[in-house]
Structure 1
Amino acid sequence: MLTIRTAGPLTTVQDRGRTGWAHVGVPRSGALDLPALSRANTLVGNAAFAAALEVTVGGLVAVPSADVVIALTGARCPLSVDGLVMPHGAAVGVPAGAELRVDAARAGVRAYLAVAGGIAVEPVLGSRSTDTLSGLGPAPLRNGDQLPLGTEIFTAPRVPGAGPTRDEAWASDAELDLAGVWAADAARRVVEPPIPAEPVLRVYPGPREDWFTPEAVDALYTAAWTVTPRSDRVGARLDGPPLPRAIDDELPSEGMVAGALQIPPSGPVLFLADHPVTGGYPVIGVVDPDDLWLAAQASPGTVLRLRPVRT
């Protein structure tokens, strides 16, 4: 078990999401920064589909009931075990009963804490992800929650140097290195991509681009857009110039995807993982899926820019 002493502002269980259900009204959900989740799972030897914790802006304190190997990726949150500073983007050993802390993010918004074996809560429709919009999956974590940990590990992290594998060390009752890292060689560390101060997101024309004036389309790609505090896992709300419409008709609800830039009267909303599957406002563009992690790590007040991709 992993006992949550302090859950922080918002910590949820996330994997790669529940795919294949949009036609019956179930969004994908899953980690907002999928590459960061993948790096964390790789570091601890988990399969790609394993569930981890998405820690929003830090503030998590947890205690494992057994020796575990963890890794923290994504937002640059200081990590410590019983007060000892641990590296970001590396496999780290945490002894049973030790307190691991993920403190306030210094850059980015969402950090991913993977545990060897994965977070083994019950899946719903094939995924362990928390969907904050529909309520599917486990509830956001609260102080005192206990999370079951899985046992299936695909590649065991190695001790630095020529030491035994983690399993060999545990089998021989070898003492866990309290100061240290059960991280391998270079294969058990990753170089995290920088979190840009002013991210640039590539955008493909949306199905309703022609509902906006040429001036609006031009403004979309030339203006600086500010991420507002009203952003969440459903979408990043952007503040910037008005985008006047060429067509003012009502639009019947139509399908939505992650990355859709929907334009209600209050201004653009960039849909993220917990987006609704339908919407009734025009979509002027769709952000490249490979750039969505940049939006996931953009804190309120971040200025981002949109660049068109024309095929």
Structure 2
Amino acid sequence: MIEVLAPGPLATVQDLGRHGHAHLGVPSSGAADAGSLRLANRLVGNSEGLAGVELTFGLARLRFLAGAWVALAGAPCPVSSGTARGAGMGAPFWVPEGGEVRLGAPSWGLRTYLAVRGGIAVEPVLGSRSTDSLSGLGPPPLRAGTVLPVGSPTGAGGIHVDLAPPRGPRPAVLRVLPGPRDDWFVPGALASMCAGPYEVSQDSNRVGVRLRGPGLARAKEGELPSEGMVTGAVQVPPSGEPIVFLTDHPPTGGYPVIAVVSEADLAVAAQLRPGDEVRFSSRPAR
């Protein structure tokens, strides 16, 4: 069991999402930076899909009511513990019974993932333990006093210490492909979007990264009937300033999608924080 003493600005339980229900209006949700959750799970010998804790901008305190192997990945936070030896990012460490793990603010990035051997074992909803901030499915956001059950490590793999090479901040460049409605914009609109930087708005969240910068002019007026949306869709509302959809995005939307972010760069989008500068690129990856 893990007791949340302080959740920081936002802490939620996340796994790899509840896929396959979009036709029912249910978003996929799941870890915004899935690669970091996968890594944290591998480090403690879990299967990659087990649930962990997604911490937004760190600043959390967790008490372990039973000893456990723990790993942290994603946005690098300073980690302290009076009892856990070797506590830090990117490598497993043991937290004894009654031990605390305290995280500071990340030096770059936004979301940090904590995995515990056995996984966070809250009750699944539609096959996933993820908190969905849009629909409200799954466990509520964590708060002081929340107690999280931990699953049995029976059948888990070995503890690893060599799977997390040091990594600095990734360049804030999002590679895109033309979207299904790029013809709704004036010629050259996609090139204009890729030409100048955008700033991440403070109104961003797990639904989408809202950007401030050059507006994208429309060639067609009016609105579309609602149509399916994917994670990474770059939707353009009437303001002309794009929104990059993250994992809690709605299954459908009526604003035109000018581009779609490459799946390989979704983690970059997930780690953008308010005030960051980001650019788009339509060049193919090499």
Range class of TM-score, shorter chain: over 0.9
> TM-score of the superposition, structure 2-length normalised?
0.95
Write the letter of the residue equivalent to 1:231. Answer: S
Structure 1 residue 310: Cα displacement: 6.6
Write the letter of the residue equivalent to 2:56. Answer: T
For 1:67, the equivalent position in structure 2 comes to 67
Do the aligned partners of 1:68 and 1:95 also contact (CA within 8 Å) in 2? yes
Say if 2:18 is the partner of 1:15: no
Say if 2:237 is the partner of 1:264: yes
Q: Distance in 2 between matches of 1:132 and 1:289?
A: 21
Q: Distance in 1 between matches of 2:90 and 2:198?
A: 30
For 2:109, the equivalent position in structure 1 comes to 108
Q: Figure out how many residues of one structure are paired with residues of the other and give that number.
A: 282
For 2:128, the equivalent position in structure 1 comes to 127
Q: Distance in 1 between matches of 2:227 and 2:281?
A: 25
Structure 1 residue 110: Cα displacement: 0.1
Q: How does 1:128-207 map to 2 (within 5 A)?
A: 128-152=129-153, 153-157=155-159, 186-187=161-162, 189-196=163-170, 198-207=171-180
Q: Distance in 1 between matches of 2:50 and 2:114?
A: 11
For 2:94, the equivalent position in structure 1 comes to 93
Q: Distance in 2 between matches of 1:83 and 1:221?
A: 49
For 1:181, the equivalent position in structure 2 comes to none
> TM-score of the superposition, structure 1-length normalised?
0.87
Q: CA RMSD in A?
A: 1.6
Deviations 1:18-39 (A, max 9, x none): 0111111111100000110010
For 2:224, the equivalent position in structure 1 comes to 251
Write the letter of the residue equivalent to 2:225. Answer: P
For 1:42, the equivalent position in structure 2 comes to 42
Q: Distance in 2 between matches of 1:310 and 1:92?
A: 39
For 1:77, the equivalent position in structure 2 comes to 77
Do the aligned partners of 1:203 and 1:286 also contact (CA within 8 Å) in 2? yes
Which one has the largest radius of gyration? 1
For 2:254, the equivalent position in structure 1 comes to 280
Q: Distance in 2 between matches of 1:275 and 1:58?
A: 23
Deviations 1:121-156 (A, max 9, x none): 000000000000000000000100000000135213
Structure 1 residue 214: Cα displacement: 1.5
Runs of 5+ unmatched residues, structure 1: 158-183
Say if 2:224 is the partner of 1:234: no
Q: Distance in 1 between matches of 2:107 and 2:48?
A: 27
Do the aligned partners of 2:39 and 2:48 also contact (CA within 8 Å) in 1? no
Deviations 1:145-193 (A, max 9, x none): 0000001352132xxxxxxxxxxxxxxxxxxxxxxxxxx5x43x51143
Structure 1 residue 309: Cα displacement: 4.7
Say if 2:198 is the partner of 1:225: yes
Q: Distance in 2 between matches of 1:135 and 1:192?
A: 35
Runs of 5+ unmatched residues, structure 2: none
Structure 1 residue 105: Cα displacement: 1.1
Do the aligned partners of 1:74 and 1:192 also contact (CA within 8 Å) in 2? no
Moved more, 217-226 or 5-14: 217-226
